[in-house]
Amino acid sequence: MGKMLSTVAILVATLGLSTGCTSTSDSSVKPSKLEMGAHIERTDESTPKTAIFVGHHKSEDVLKAIKAAAKEEGWDVTEYKSEAVIVEKTLADKTISSTIIYHNQHISGDSENAPMEELLKLRHEIVEQLKKEEKH
């Protein structure tokens, strides 16, 4: 009986410690504490892991920033659906494109039809446009 109680006590203590450690590490990364443009590890299921945090902005303001950034970097923007746009650009006689989704305080895009280098320039400019918006 004593051995059984000891075993149960050890199991409960182990479970309690592992649960406590897990909840502490998960709650230490909160989007509101991240700098705009930072990569994130933990989001809800609708946000891709490659998305970047862009802060607490209205969807209209994010769309405005995407359009301004795209114009600055030479991209054409076509509104695709709610909270998504298609950006296109011609490089060396080849048209490149990406779908940019802005959702849940994050921006993500695909690099299937555009070089990552070009998309990173665009992403940087979007963050800069949003920072300008915050100052106003």
pLDDT digits (tens, 9 = 90+) for 49-107: 677 888 888 889 999 999 999 999 999 999 988 899 999 999 989 999 999 999 888 88
Total residue length of the chain: 136
**d(C-alpha 35, C-alpha 31), whole Å:** 8
What pLDDT sits at residue 43?
47
**d(C-alpha 40, C-alpha 53), whole Å:** 7
Contact 16, 82 (CB under 8 A): no
What pLDDT sits at residue 49?
65
